[in-house]
């Protein structure tokens, strides 16, 4: 694979960007190579600065559920930009997007738009603490809720990929106010709730995808809902990844539960920076200017991001979700077929839910973060390099998910799985 231009751009980037990237998940050091610089994208394909093309399975880490450069989304953003890129004032589009979200999430009666999942997490935690008058949070090992002080301990995603257990610069008091427990462990979370100061919130990814895809075991979410109710804590669902992806109403619809507060991002912005947090009217009316919990943002509800988000949600009708489910089933089946073809059943496995999949370099999909960390990450790194050579851009980290979009088709899935069947024996040699 010719990557001379990417290499040149990377050398330039190292002079002005830490590590040559603007987010650690874009670095490819964990798979033993330098990052690839992308020049353009269309549908389910990326084209890099050297002209190489790849079937893309990261979809900008989730937002592009309709694919790259979707014509309807591009048109909506272009039309919005022609009217003005930012006003610092209220717009009709913000109201329409909020109405569309509330229509999809039964637990959300009001929401506040922000610019990133991190900002939404920070704001939801602040609100939960204000409402309950408590400080302690309970989170799960391997869950990533943005780079919020106090939520970085035992986090997944980029921290897991980089081998960073927590982050310097986080005040000790912030870290001490967070209790980290294993995912899918009822006894551990029960003990954590009952020990010490009652928690302000139990914060969860209902379908974790930042330690790879590790769905909840039957009854686990219901157990968390009951614990939150009995302890007076708020159940805060981080649906930055699962929201609008796994179902019209996110993981809450798919799994059949309701959160007190919901954190949203990625798909809600349709590929532009946008996020939100929302809940009942009673809770959200604690937020300024009607309430006393302050949160603000110069670019929140940006008209370009709102236009992209609204168009994306309009495209996500019942047929779209049926299609995403069918494509995911085909991808998971193809991955399992590739594993069988490669004779790798004792060293690789697949987890999948609608719109998301992870190929784990382990005999069985893990049930928690310890299991995810026990996967053969060296073999996964070799696998990713081999897939790139075959024109498949898989997540360059064992702790991330493959994102299915409406732009993927059967041919792209079959080509990807054929490449996987070729690459697996090399990765496991």
With b meaning 16 or more CB within 10 Å and e meaning fewer, what string describes 186-207? eebbbebbeeeeebbbbbbbbb
* Beta-sheet strand order (sheet of 110-114): 110-114, 275-279, 261-264, 234-239, 201-204, 137-140, 178-181
This prediction has a pTM of: 0.94
Catalytic residue among 10, 54, 144, 277: 144
CATH number of 71-315: 3.40.640.10, 3.40.50.300, 3.10.310.10, 3.20.20.70? Answer: 3.40.640.10
DSSP-assigned letter for residue 190: H
Mean pLDDT to the nearest integer, 162-169? 55
Tokens found for residue 421: 């069947």
170 vs 85, more confident:
85
Q: What is the mean pLDDT of the chain?
A: 94
Degrees to nearest 5, angle at CA 175 with 171 and 176: 110
Domain ranges within the chain, ordered by starting residue:
4-65+317-427, 71-315
Q: pLDDT-derived band of residue 157, with 50, 70 and 90 as boundaries?
A: low
Q: Which CATH class is domain 4-65+317-427?
A: alpha beta
User: Which of the residue ranges 9-13, 154-158, 211-215, 315-319 would you say has the lowest mean pLDDT?
Assistant: 154-158
Catalytic residue among 48, 56, 154, 238: 238
Q: Is the pLDDT confidence value at 152 over 90?
A: no
- 139 is an active site residue: no
User: Which of the residue ranges 63-77, 139-153, 357-371 would you say has the lowest mean pLDDT?
Assistant: 139-153
pLDDT, position 153: 61
pLDDT, position 376: 96
Backbone angles phi, psi at 409, to 5 degrees: -135, 180
CA dihedral 214, 219, 225, 230 (to 10 degrees): -130
* 85-116 pLDDT, tens digit each: 999 999 999 999 999 999 999 999 999 999 99
pLDDT, position 162: 44
Max Cα distance, the chain (Å):
62
Tokens found for residue 399: 């702790």
Give the C-alpha separation, 40 to 78, whole Å: 17
Q: Is the pLDDT confidence value at 167 over 70?
A: no
pLDDT, position 171: 72
Give the C-alpha separation, 321 to 328, whole Å: 10
Q: Strand (E) positions, 131-290?
A: 137-140, 178-181, 201-204, 234-239, 261-264, 275-279
Mean pLDDT to the nearest integer, 209-220? 96
* 172-192 pLDDT, tens digit each: 777 778 999 999 999 999 999
- 144 is an active site residue: yes
* Beta-sheet strand order (sheet of 349-353): 349-353, 356-360, 402-403
Give the 3-state secondary structure of residue 68.
Answer: strand
Q: Omega of the bond prior to 323 within 30 degrees of 0, cis?
A: no
- 266 is an active site residue: yes
Catalytic residue among 54, 260, 266, 277: 266
User: Which of the residue ranges 146-150, 205-209, 344-348 would you say has the lowest mean pLDDT?
Assistant: 146-150
């Amino acid at each position: 694979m010719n990557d001379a231009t990417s290499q040149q751009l990377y050398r330039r980037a190292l002079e002005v960007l830490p590590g040559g990237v603007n987010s650690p998940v874009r670095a490819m050091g964990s798979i033993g190579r330098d990052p690839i610089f992308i020049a353009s994208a269309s549908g389910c394909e990326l084209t890099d600065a050297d002209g190489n093309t790849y079937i893309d399975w990261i979809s900008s880490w989730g937002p592009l559920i309709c694919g790259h450069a979707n014509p309807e989304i591009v048109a909506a953003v272009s039309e919005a930009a022609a009217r003005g890129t930012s006003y610092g004032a209220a717009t009709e589009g913000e109201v329409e997007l909020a109405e569309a979200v509330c229509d999809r999430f039964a637990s959300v009666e009001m929401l506040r738009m922000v610019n990133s999942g991190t900002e939404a997490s920070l704001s939801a935690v602040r609100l939960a603490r204000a409402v309950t008058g408590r400080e302690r949070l309970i989170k799960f090992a391997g869950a990533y809720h943005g780079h919020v002080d106090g939520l970085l301990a035992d986090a997944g995603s980029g921290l897991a990929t980089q081998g960073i257990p927590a982050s310097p610069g986080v005040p000790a008091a912030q870290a001490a106010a967070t209790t980290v427990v294993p995912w899918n462990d009822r006894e551990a979370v029960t003990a954590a709730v009952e020990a010490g100061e009652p928690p302000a919130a139990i914060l969860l990814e209902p379908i974790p995808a930042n330690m790879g895809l590790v769905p909840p075991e039957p009854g686990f979410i219901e157990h968390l809902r009951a614990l939150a109710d009995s302890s007076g804590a708020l159940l805060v669902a981080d649906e930055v990844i699962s929201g609008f992806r796994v179902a019209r109403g996110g993981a809450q619809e798919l799994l059949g539960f309701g959160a007190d507060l919901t954190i949203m991002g990625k798909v809600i912005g349709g590929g532009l920076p946008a996020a939100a947090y929302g809940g009942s009217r009673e809770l959200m009316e604690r937020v300024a200017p009607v309430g006393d919990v302050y949160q603000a943002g110069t670019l929140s509800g940006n008209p370009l991001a709102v236009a992209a988000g609204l168009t994306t949600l309009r495209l996500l009708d019942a047929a779209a979700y049926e299609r995403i489910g069918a494509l995911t089933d085909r991808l998971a089946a193809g991955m399992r077929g590739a594993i069988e073809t490669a004779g790798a059943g004792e060293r690789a496995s697949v987890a999948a839910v609608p719109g998301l999949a992870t190929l784990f370099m382990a005999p069985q999909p893990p049930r928690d973060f310890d299991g995810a960390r026990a996967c053969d990450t060296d073999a996964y790194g070799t696998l990713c390099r081999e897939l790139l050579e075959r024109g498949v851009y898989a997540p360059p980290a064992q702790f991330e998910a493959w994102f299915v979009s409406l732009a993927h088709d059967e041919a792209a899935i079959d080509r990807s799985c054929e490449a996987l069947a070729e690459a697996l024996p090399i990765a496991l040699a």
